[in-house]
Amino acid sequence: MANGLARYEFSERLADILGESRRDLRFRVTLMVTGGLVAPGPRGRGSPPASPQYAAHLLIGAMAAPQQSQTLEAIRCYADLRANAVAAGGNAPRVLFGPAMVTAEAEQRPEFLIRLDGLSFGEALAGLLELACAEETRSIVASELFGVWINRGCPVASLQFSACWQGRRAVISHTYGLAPDAAPPAWLDPQRGGVVDPGLLHTVFLPVRKLIEIGLLTTLSDDRSTPMLNKLGHKVAAIKKMAELAAKTPHGSRWEKLLSALTAVQAWSEQVDAQENRLLEVTAFGSNPGELKMYCHVPERLPANAPLVVVLHGCTQSAASYNKGSGWSTLADRYGFAVLFPQQNWNNNPLRCFNWFKPEDHHRENGEPLSIKQMVDRMLSDYGLDRDRVYVTGTSSGGAMTNVMLATYPEVFAGGAVIAGVPYRTAKGLREGLESIFQGRSRSPREWGELVRAASPHPGPWPKVSVWHGDADTAVKPVNAEETIKQWADIHGLDLQPTIQMMVDGYPRRVWQGPGGAELIESYTVTGMTHGAALDPGAEPHQCGTAAPFFNAVGISSTHRIADFWGLLAERPASVRDPATAGQEAGRSARASTAGSARTIDLGQQRTCKEDATQKTGPEDYASGTQEQRSGASRPFGLDVHGIISASLEAAGLLKPGTSSRRSDSKAPLGIDVPGIISTALEAAGVLKGISQRSASAAPEAMLKTSGWEGSGWELLLDDPRAFRGGSMLYGHASSGDRGALGARAQSISRRIKLGSQPELSYVRRLDLNAGVNDYTSASFRVLIDGQVVDEVTAIGMVHQETEWLRQAAIDLERFANRTVTLTLEVAACSNSYSTVYAKAWVDQIMIHNAVDLACC
């Protein structure tokens, strides 16, 4: 048996979790036994185990019965409740994210991995406890379930799931009610002498965290003859088999942890697969000995002889989910290249990993490598792509298979990128594969190189390689990145000592150059990052992708950097651009040249930023602009003296446009940074210092008004170490229910700003919304433009805390384009009782992209 907690011991622990009296739970157990609901058994040694079914009955009795004497009837009534249709949360506790956007696509009903079709409320609750008890499915419960809700005033209950609903993140309730011929419990049935006590008209909510804690105390049978695991289908059963196999290896515990994480990845992939339609499936591409599926994305008006990028997903991922997370199709649309997405079948691997560790799948002209090669041939033939510019990349098992493809078909690929992968032929079986990812295999560069040279008759030249790995990766040990570098350094005849070392977006990058100075190998070590790919989500030219399990938003885009390393980011020819887009860009350029004021405006700390992204010309400009925005350097009264002087000199024609973005820009006349010299002189004379001192002595309210914001309940926190990057940030607070003040209470600040033709809003925030008093109390944070909500988080009947800074990027403001609007930040709280409900918000780095800089900015 798993676990092994007996009934009497279980009731003691359950009382602690629910915050109830142990004596109360013991008496309810006694009623269950005397009433024949469960078989009697001794206390202490020999006590029957606490099965999920037993736990579900006792939990229903404790949650649904207002009094001890009503326990049995409550269990019998509520356990037999029948499922109604899935609907939005009603008055159940919930949190809603973002403004409501009702579209045809948003109306699609969400898909869940946990299926409760045909089960009564008691059966469904027992099944969830069983899933929470099992190691292989616990993370699925944690990722999909929100909590259990029971109404004591009428026989209604719900199991609440977290999902996307009508274009916003929300809680979806799977509701349960009485069958048509069923009667309510006696204490609620006037025909049987029941009297509804107004004091009983309330609900009880059990969060998923506590349900999992309860499930861990239950005992599964050895044979699992009626397991809820079967409700999740063959994929979870396959994961269970993998866990059993891994338990026999020295790294069994680490493998089980990885499997638990992979179930969350799989759940997200299933959700994307139900919605994503950007990829086109291609059939009949060859003999396909590896039995893989082929998907692709080809931009409209693809130029002739365009490059091709082959993208390989990781375990439990799919082609569509990896594309959504990595953003490769977005980059393809921007720069005009085709993307191929091979996809593994569940029948080939229980976790849908590419079989990089199997001899039949890491040799040339065999298995999965040959299938991928046939897909490449089909793409080259169908779309007239450039055979000399074919590249391959992947993460985790896809990263390992990337090394397989580079070694077995080096004449096909001009370059590759290995993300969180392992060297070629580090293993020839599952056991060695586990040892490689969890422990690493050390060989000399020559030994690694010989394995690649033996994989094909190709004499060279060899593909250039980019290697990415997080130094906090516990799934694939980071030493594998160093061994991969050794393998390809030997192939290219390079020394292990890098030619160049630098910092890019705050992370170390190493480069190995060939004799002619060409970059043949690069390596990024993403400090602090766990397993997966590095991302910088957003709509800026250097950003793409979606944060998700194994897609880590760490402020650097591996997708963008890899494409740049391969040389794919040259500007697309005008002839292949969409005509509508080209017209918009031409209009933007005309307005910018006339007004000279299209900017990205920072409304938080009043930094003067670079020109609009449409005027930038290269990845370095994008990177430096991002880094400058993150620096958070304080400026007196929010004035960038250097920037003002630079802008003036540019307007006079004395400096080339764009020179003001950096103090050390070589484009200044004769290489002399005139604005920098003037600014430095002012600083040396004490002028700027004096301004800074006067600024520091000003009251926060005066600073807030000086910076252009007006309102109440908000303040500007100066030099606060809790700020996102240090410096200053905005803080707002609203409360209701305290000091006799009931009802809605809101605090807001606003400022005016003129928008350009394609405006976007981004900011970072931390929220503390405490509305866990009852089902009708609420706390919210909203961002409004001219009174219309563009971003929102609302907690109803529960607490929502963001302990880490969350970046909200690329909020589309196009419907307000070319207007002077009012931007408002609002915190609000509403309580219907004399219990405090509050909303707190910390906001930093408020950026309006493509705005017109007004005097107040």
> Which two three-digit tokens encode residue 161?
């799931």
Greatest distance between any 2 Cα atoms in the chain: 97
> Can you say whether residue 770 is alpha, beta or left, with left for phi > 0 and alpha for psi between -120 and 50 degrees?
beta
Closest C-alpha among 757, 798, 763 to residue 782: 763
State how far the Cα of 609 lies from the Cα of 599, in Å rounded to an integer. Answer: 7
Beta bridge partners, 795, equal 95, 779
Q: Evaluate the omega torsion of the peptide bond into residue 461 and state whether it is cis, within 30 degrees of 0.
A: yes
Report whether 550 contacts 325 (CB < 8 A): yes
Report whether 610 contacts 661 (CB < 8 A): yes
Burial label for 190, CB within 10 Å (0-12, 13-18, 19+), is: exposed
Sign of the four-CA dihedral 412, 418, 421, 422: positive
Q: What are phi and psi of 365, to 5 degrees?
A: 60, 25
> Which two three-digit tokens encode residue 810?
């690329």
Q: What are phi and psi of 500, to 5 degrees?
A: -135, 145
Give a three-class secondary structure readout of 385-433.
Answer: CCCCCEEEEEECHHHHHHHHHHHHCCCCCCEEEEECCCCCCCCCCHHHH
State how far the Cα of 277 lies from the Cα of 264, in Å rounded to an integer. Answer: 21
Of residues 318, 329, 396, 750, which has the active-site annotation? Answer: 396
Q: What are phi and psi of 457, to 5 degrees?
A: -85, 5
Strands 390-395 vs 415-419: parallel, antiparallel or unpaired: parallel
Q: What are phi and psi of 749, to 5 degrees?
A: -130, 150
C-beta atoms surrounding 201 within 10 Å: 11
631 catalytic per annotation: no
Give a three-class secondary structure readout of 773-814.
Answer: CCCCCEEEEEEEECCEEEEEEEEECCEEECCCCEEEEEEECH
Burial label for 97, CB within 10 Å (0-12, 13-18, 19+), is: middle
> Which two three-digit tokens encode residue 557?
């885009």
Please give the C-alpha separations between residue 460 and each of 150, 295, 404, 410, 759, in angstroms, as whole numbers. 68, 30, 16, 8, 49
Give the 3-state secondary structure of residue 372: helix
State how far the Cα of 386 lies from the Cα of 592, in Å rounded to an integer. Answer: 37
Give a three-class secondary structure readout of 290-302.
Answer: CCCEEEEECCCCC
State how far the Cα of 680 lies from the Cα of 774, in Å rounded to an integer. Answer: 59
Please give the C-alpha separations between residue 75 and each of 58, 206, 774, in angstroms, as whole numbers. 8, 16, 24
State how far the Cα of 268 lies from the Cα of 733, in Å rounded to an integer. Answer: 34
Active site amino acids: 396
